[in-house]
Amino acid sequence: MKRLIVFIIAGLLIFSSSSFVSADEVSDLKAKIEALETAVNSLKSQLGNLEAKQNVQTDNVKKISGLEESIQKLKESQVGTLGEGLTIGGHLKFALYDRTQGKHNGTDQHTNGSAGFIGPDSPLYLMVGKELSDVLRLDVRTMYEVAARATPSLGSDISRTTSTTIATTVDTAYMTALLPQGYELKVGQMRVMFSEDYAKETWWHELYNLNKGTCTIQSWHDFGAELYKNIDFDKWSLPVYFYLLNGSSVDNNENKTVLLHIAPEFFQTKLRLLGSFGYGKWDDKGKEDMLRTAYGFDWNYQKFNLRGEYIYSLYKDKQVPLTALTPTADGKNEGYWVKAIYTFNPKWKAVVEQSYVDLYKAGLTTGQKSMISDEYSSTSLALDYSVTPSSTIITQYENVNAHRSDDSDKLDYGRITMGWRTTF
């Protein structure tokens, strides 16, 4: 019995001791939890303050972004009004050296070597274009020409004019509209696509001076409408240009001049064929026929390019003001040019061009059956150095043999020029 009581008392003591230890640990744990809750509440408070600051910053960023967007829209509206789609450029040409020596009617003559803006061969073009919309564009090109003769011609001595004047003309001014199904309409004053070499100014960075007389047979400036479309096939393409022209360059009548130009290109052979046919009336009364045709080719093979054209123009019954009877005869301009180009590398290329032209002139031959004409046979050799793809220094030698069909005038000369052409 005593033993039982002792065991009971001992058990109670052990149980009591164990309970006291657990209570202390729980008390410590509660204290730690309370401290942790205090820290968490502090962190929550700090986090709330941080979130509030971030919200303020976000609002500020939105305000700044809105302001920047407003500024950008304002800039875009200003650009759209003043300069969006606006292009400004030009073409500048001047001589670093120019000298001619030869014979006029058997007399030796020459010009001294000179430099600068020499003669009408050295114009300055200023070009302005504006995209008015996705389908409408305006282009205007003004030409500032130094009106001083430098290129010798039949009927005058080999000389250079010492005084100059500046002539300003609007070379081209037209609107271009993109139409459905790949058509393009151009309306205004333009260089008509009669001879591509002239109309596209392809020769600008090949020769400094165009061969004598070729400009007369190649050029066609007129006011009217051009309708263009390129028709694509598997192995070739067919660009087509159709014109209705006022004929301002040759007449002042109510009739319209029509012109068709096609240029089929064959991809495998790298050959292009060129053909133009134009018909209209040249006189003010609209009675006399005018016919202009051009046939040519453009062929590329590796570094070699060969181009050429034959051009013929006929003006029926041109008036010849020699007598009171004002006799008439057909005026004819015809000729050809062939050009070979070899490109050594992107910087250097060599050019050879041969041309012949026969240009009608006021006056009749013996018997008054046909017009007098001036004939020019020209050969040009050129070496071109491209400072940049659009800026070329051209050294050119041109040899010209010319005579009048009634043998009243004869001209032979050689001209060497070093000139600089830059398109910008």
Question: pLDDT at position 19, please?
Answer: 42
Question: pLDDT at position 13, please?
Answer: 43
* CB atoms inside a 10 Å sphere around CB 209: 25
The DSSP line for 38-107 is: HHHHHHHHHHHHHHHHHHHHHHHHHHHHHHHHHHHHHHHHHHHHHTTTEEEEEEEEEEEEEEEEEEETTE
- CA distance linking residue 115 with residue 122, whole number of Å: 11
Q: Quick check: helix, strand or coil at residue 354?
A: strand
Query: Scanning the structure block, which residue is given the tokens 């657990």?
Result: 22
Q: Quick check: helix, strand or coil at residue 198?
A: helix
Q: Which pair of tokens denotes residue 249?
A: 């360059």
- Distant-in-sequence, close-in-space partners of 187: CB < 8 Å, separation ≥ 6: 174, 175, 177, 224, 225, 226
Buried/exposed code over 135-166 (b: 16+ C-beta within 10 A; e: otherwise)? eebbbbbbbbbbebebbbbbeeebebeeebee
What separation in angstroms does the CA of 334 have from each of 175, 200, 201, 280? 32, 21, 20, 18
What residue type is assigned to position 238 of the chain? L
Outline where DSSP puts E strands in 202-347: 221-232, 236-245, 257-262, 265-266, 271-281, 289-301, 304-319, 328-343
Residue 361 contacts residue 213 (beta carbons within 8 Å): no
* CB atoms inside a 10 Å sphere around CB 354: 15
Of 271, 288, 257, which Cα lies nearest the Cα of 194?
Answer: 257
Give, for all 424 residues of the chain, the pLDDT tens digit: 544 444 444 454 444 444 444 556 656 666 767 776 776 677 677 766 766 666 656 565 455 555 556 656 655 655 455 567 899 999 999 999 999 999 999 999 988 888 877 655 567 899 999 999 999 999 999 998 766 566 888 888 888 766 566 778 899 999 999 999 999 999 999 999 999 999 999 999 999 999 999 999 999 999 999 999 999 999 999 999 999 998 755 556 778 899 999 999 999 999 999 999 999 998 888 888 999 999 999 999 999 999 999 999 999 988 665 454 566 788 899 999 999 999 999 999 999 999 999 999 876 655 556 678 999 999 999 999 999 999 999 999 999 999 998 889 999 999 999 999 999 9
- CA distance linking residue 176 with residue 129, whole number of Å: 11
Residue 224 contacts residue 245 (beta carbons within 8 Å): yes
Q: Quick check: helix, strand or coil at residue 163?
A: coil
Residue 59 contacts residue 67 (beta carbons within 8 Å): no
Handedness of CA 145, 148, 149, 151 (dihedral sign): negative
pTM of the model as a whole: 0.76
Question: pLDDT at position 367, please?
Answer: 55
Question: pLDDT at position 7, please?
Answer: 47
Of 385, 388, 357, 354, which Cα lies nearest the Cα of 373?
Answer: 357
- CA distance linking residue 109 with residue 414, whole number of Å: 11
